[in-house]
Amino acid sequence: MPFVSVRITRDGVTSEQKAQVIAEITETLERVLKKDPHLTHIVIEEVDTDNWGYAGISTTKYRKQLAEAEGKS
């Protein structure tokens, strides 16, 4: 029974996009590893950007700094 955990930041991902990710991961496991889709579990965890760190700071702060830097260009 395959179990796949996918973690993404919570920011604008639609239900349709998540459904596509689930379908395509399931299809890949079936095609490559011959795993039964009825026994395959995919979990998508959405993490708030305040709780996701990147480059020593939260993703929220990182994106804010990036937007400010792009505004100065």
Residues marked active site are found at 2
Alpha-carbon dihedral sign for residues 49, 51, 54, 58: positive
What is each CA distance from 4 to 11, 21, 34, 58, in whole angstroms? 21, 11, 15, 25
